[in-house]
A and B are shown apart, each in its own frame.
Chain A
Amino acid sequence: MEDFLIRAFLAGLGVVLLAGPLGCFIVWRRMAYFGDSLAHNALLGVALGLLLGIDLSLGVIAGSAMLAAFLLAMQQQKQIASDTLLGLMAHSGLALGLVVLSFFESLRIDLLSYLFGDILAVSTTELIWVYVSALVGLVVLIAIWRPLLAVTVHEDLARAEGVAVWPTRLAFVLLIAIVISIAMKIVGILLITAMLIIPAATARRFAETPEQMAVLAVVAGAVAVFCGLAGSVVWDTPSGPSVVVAAFLGFLASLAAGGLRRRLGSGPSSAS
């Protein structure tokens, strides 16, 4: 196999390692649109990184964190509904990012790779960056796992039981920012949310516990990365979208398999 393909697969695997468990929480907490809004604004983060002359991944993380803080603050007001606000920010951020980036002549060519990813062009340095970010993210996620789960089930109850809700939520949002910064290279800004929620949704059918679902989401994501990349080589299709299509096919297969399991009388939730 070619080197660039191995790097691409390893990079995808690194992203999925963090995106799988994190995506489960996004699904459980019904934050798909929140994640989408942050992802769409990653382009602004790229612009921020270019303007400040810092690493683009750091720019994306900083930009996402600022937007998240803004969104959380705005959610305290009651005049504009939360989904309107998220949609508004998602698309305004994307549009603004495109406009700002158009001022950087050199970037016009790279624009498509930001929007749809360029997994086949991942360098060794980028690969290391992906794994460092993913592993740091995983460690943080494991550290906040129980409080985050408690907050997900019921925030007031968790708070009454002594969980430090705000630090937990803050850490969670930062993790989303991290996963966006590394997933951007793989599937691109427009499709990041897909890699967060599709593997998680696929895993649900076969999971009895939150941890099982997280692990199965990683497996589903890894399979999608492998099949998507293979498909993109064989049929010469764009790699990022191919990975997402593979993930979606996996989800459809899980629906069928789940239905079959239920017919055989051993559905996932009938628990032994």
Chain B
Amino acid sequence: MPGVSVDRGGAMTGSPLASHSAGGEPLVDCDDITVRLGDRPVLEKVSIVVQPGEIVTLIGPNGSGKTTLVRTILGLQTPQGGRIRRRPGLKIGYVPQRLSIDPILPLTVRRFLRLGGKHDEIVLQRAIDEVGGSDLMLRQIGQLSGGELQRMALARALLRQPDLLVLDEPLQGVDFTGQLALFNLIDRVRQNRGCGVLMVSHDLHLVMKGTDRVFCLNRHICCSGQPETVSRHPEYLALFGPRAEESLAVYAHSHDHDHALSGEVVTLPGAGRASDGPAKGRPHGGGAEGTSE
């Protein structure tokens, strides 16, 4: 496959924008997209660009039009105004929001993956290995945990050998440590494959951790840029409240260990400094815990 191969070095976290311009033509370029559902305006003149090899995150409150924008980019929703340019031959891998499969449908993981289209056994195996799911192949899909299901959905998206991964709330329904592992996995996939990633999230702290650019959406784009910049933007603060300010502080501390996908603790080489370890379910961000939203 002659896909783009952007050398990302080993960078885990946000890298300078300059490195993306080397990727050439944008994967997706939305210009003044306007969408109405019935009489209700959902998106108003939204412009967003995703470059090869970068992680772009879309954040916004409920009802801000995140999913509508994603559906528009995927071609599932026709905009009433504006223009979308997709790079010719662009292949998109899509992980929908809240994939839930009724247990009345007997479906093994393997079968679920094959529903996405016909693929070589090698391609299938590679995708499975990438997300760490070879031991899940014969399990019934209805019995997977939230994190496992999201990884399998990601594997199905990877089968298409995508240039762009579109993930709608990939961390939803996944427990906290699982979220970190999943986020790291997405980042690793991006590095291995050099694909662009467009991710929808309302999870601020994880967003801040590894995103190249953030678009803050509330029917229109309120602000955008590198995570650090956006998190100080007045419109962002107005949308997410004072708690948002601490989202950076929460994850600024370093960990002496990490968690593998299955949850076991992995000691990071060279990490000698004692720390309080990863949060167990709530960000330990100080006094914000008690404030009402």
Contacts and interface: CB of A to CB of B under 8 A. Distances in A.
Interface of A: 27-28, 30, 78, 146, 149-150, 152-154, 156-162, 201, 204, 207-210, 212-213, 268-269, 271-272
Given A269-B142, A271-B138, A152 B106 contact: no
Contact of A154 (B71, B96, B111, B138): B96
Interface in B119-164: 138-140, 142-143, 156, 160
26 contacts: A27-B104, A146-B115, A149-B115, A153-B107, A153-B112, A153-B115, A154-B99, A156-B94, A156-B96, A157-B116, A157-B156, A160-B92, A161-B94, A161-B116, A161-B160, A204-B106, A207-B106, A209-B106, A209-B108, A209-B111, A210-B105, A213-B106, A269-B143, A271-B108, A271-B138, A272-B138
Nearest to A30: B102
Contact of A212 (B38, B106, B112): B106
Q: Name the residue in A154, A162, A201 with the highest tally of chain B Cβ atoms < 10 Å from its Cβ.
A: A154
Given A146-B115, A161-B160, A210 B142 contact: no
Interface of B: 38, 71, 74-76, 92, 94, 96, 99, 101-108, 111-112, 115-117, 138-140, 142-143, 156, 160
Contacts of A154: 96, 99
Contacts of B108: 208-209, 271
A211 to B, nearest CB: 9
Contacts of A157: 94, 96, 99, 116, 156
A28 B99 contact: no
A156 B168 CA distance: 12
Nearest 3 CB-CB pairings of A with B: A160-B94, A269-B140, A28-B105
Given A208-B106, A271-B140, 13 more contacts: A28-B104, A154-B96, A157-B94, A160-B76, A160-B94, A161-B117, A209-B106, A209-B108, A210-B105, A213-B106, A269-B103, A269-B142, A271-B139
Contact of A209 (B74, B99, B107): B107
A3 B60 CA distance: 70
Nearest to A150: B115
B90 to A, nearest CB: 12
Contact of B104 (A156, A161, A204, A271): A204
A28 B100 CA distance: 12
Nearest to B139: A271
Contacts of B117: 161-162
A157 B116 CA distance: 8
A21 B76 CA distance: 29
Contacts of B96: 154, 156-157
Contacts of B138: 271-272
B25 to A, nearest CB: 21
Given A153-B115, A154-B99, A160-B94, A268 B76 contact: no
A1 to B, nearest CB: 36
A160 B105 contact: no
A267 to B, nearest CB: 10
B46 to A, nearest CB: 19
A27 B101 CA distance: 13
Given A157-B96, A162-B117, A269-B140, A152 B105 contact: yes
B38, B92, B96, B104: most-surrounded residue (chain A CB, <10 A): B104
A191 to B, nearest CB: 21
Contacts of A269: 103, 106, 140, 142-143
